[in-house]
Amino acid sequence: MKPGSIAIVGAAETTELGKIPGMSQTQLHADAALNALDDCGIKMVDVDGIATAGESPINLAHYLGIVPTWVDGTGVGGCSFMLHVRHAAAAIAEGLCSTVLITHGESGRSGVGRGGFGGGSASLAAQFESPYGPMGPPSMFTIPVLRYMKDFGLTVEQLALIAVIQREWAALNPRSSYKEPLTVDDVLNERMIAYPFTKLMCCLVTDGGGALILTSAERAADFPTKPVYLLGTGESVETPMVSQMDDFTSSRAFRVASRKAFAESGVHHSDVDHLMIYDAFAHLPIYGLEDLGFCERGEAGAFIGERHTAIGGKLPVNTNGGGLSYMHSGMYGMYALQESVRQLRGTAAAQIEGAKISVAHGVGGMFAASGTIVMSNEKP
């Protein structure tokens, strides 16, 4: 940030202060946010960046109706908002977003709709989804797929094939959790978890971790490793409630994040040598291929069927075996990035010959959040 380049233009507190038993904690955020918009004469639709602490920025973006291209949920206690201001300044200066909303709301005295102990059941998801018996990602992340299958004619065999092809990749990787070959029938005959998903269409549950170190391209020359340069990045969130996704056949968060990343990078889809799409469940690569723009709507099932994402295909996808066969500890995005780095260093177990550009695309929650990173081993 250049000094004097970023300004605070709107500021307001909640309508009342003191004792506010008539508002939940989330609504205190919203009340302050609406007042700040009024203060500077803009609408929520003008806001494209959101930062908050003590409340999920996903919850808040959905509650307020914001489509963000920048999201910060840094929570380090009472000074979180100073960090948000600093991060927002960097983001605006970098063009990641243009107008940031930073909110605070806390029902510290009345304790209305507070998270944490005994407060979980007051969230919108707890009120309007939990009573209907969802049991975590396997029975929630999967809910949209029947709509996709009906609208685009995707078959359950095409869905199963995704697990089969990823197992083929995993077989090349000594660190994969599962390497034995699979057939479509093997996948379909496995135990049903949440129709139409059998166990082999759901990610593994394993232990593990990963870490990355970043520095400037200038300093990278001083390191012994082959640098992987960032070309473009994108992020967004949609809703913490899968039932409230705009369209069950497409993820808005995927579209917003990836568009931003591709635009920043200047990379064309046909230039991409390697792609990682976070595959918590077998339908994720379908949504990813289409929402990132590699396939037209409704065509990803056939694209995978033609083995374009498989070994020897024109767009190798999830070359480590993915969350379905490599590993999945819970927040798999780190492993997608690790595989992109290995491919661009030329050290992957299933190395793509001459890979220069890799895209790693991640999901958070159940289509709730998304991040896309475009990388290269060559400086543009």
Partner 1 sequence: MADRTKIPRPRPTPETQHFWDGTREGRLLIQACNDCGHVYFPPRPFCPSCSSRNVDVLEASGDATLYSYVINHRPHPGFDGPYAIAVVTLAEGPRMMTNIVNCDQTPDALQLDMPLKVTFERLTDDITLPYFEPVGDAS
Q: Which of 71, 161, 170, 241 binds partner 1 (CB under 8 A)?
A: 241
On the 0-12 / 13-18 / 19+ scale of CB atoms within 10 A, 9 is exposed
- Determine if 184 is a binding residue for partner 1 (CB under 8 A): no
Can you tell me which residue has the tokens 């083929």? 168
Minimum distance, C-beta of residue 197 to partner 1, in the bound complex (Å): 7
> Which candidate in 63, 148, 287, 326 is catalytic?
326
Question: What does the per-residue mask of binding to partner 1 show for 197-226, with x meaning CB under 8 A?
Answer: x-----------------------------
- Determine if 146 is a binding residue for partner 1 (CB under 8 A): yes
Q: Which of 248, 254, 262, 278 binds partner 1 (CB under 8 A)?
A: 248
DSSP state of 244: G
Amino acid at 13: E
> Which candidate in 278, 287, 332, 335 is catalytic?
278
In whole angstroms, what separates CA 206 from the centre of its chain? 20
Q: Which of 68, 144, 288, 301 binds partner 1 (CB under 8 A)?
A: 144
Report CA Rg, the chain.
Answer: 22
Minimum distance, C-beta of residue 291 to partner 1, in the bound complex (Å): 17
Size of residue set near partner 1 by CB under 8 A? 53
- Determine if 147 is a binding residue for partner 1 (CB under 8 A): yes
Which pair of tokens denotes residue 133?
């018996």
Backbone angles phi, psi at 52, to 5 degrees: -160, 165
Give the binding range for partner 1 (CB under 8 A) out of 43-51, 72-80, 169-177, 317-325: 43-51
Quick count: other Cβ atoms within 10 Å of Cβ 300? 27
Minimum distance, C-beta of residue 241 to partner 1, in the bound complex (Å): 7
Beta-carbon contacts of residue 96 (< 8 Å; ≥ 6 apart): 49, 69, 70, 233, 235, 260
Pairing state between β 369-376 and 229-237: antiparallel
- Determine if 188 is a binding residue for partner 1 (CB under 8 A): no
Q: Are 299 and 309 in contact (CB under 8 A)?
A: no
Q: Are 267 and 253 in contact (CB under 8 A)?
A: no
Can you tell me whether residue 369 is helix, strand or coil? strand
Q: Which residues bind partner 1 (CB under 8 A)?
A: 21-24, 26-27, 30, 34, 37, 43-45, 62-65, 112-113, 121-122, 124, 126-135, 138-140, 142-147, 150, 191-197, 241-244, 248
Show which residues are catalytic: 278, 326
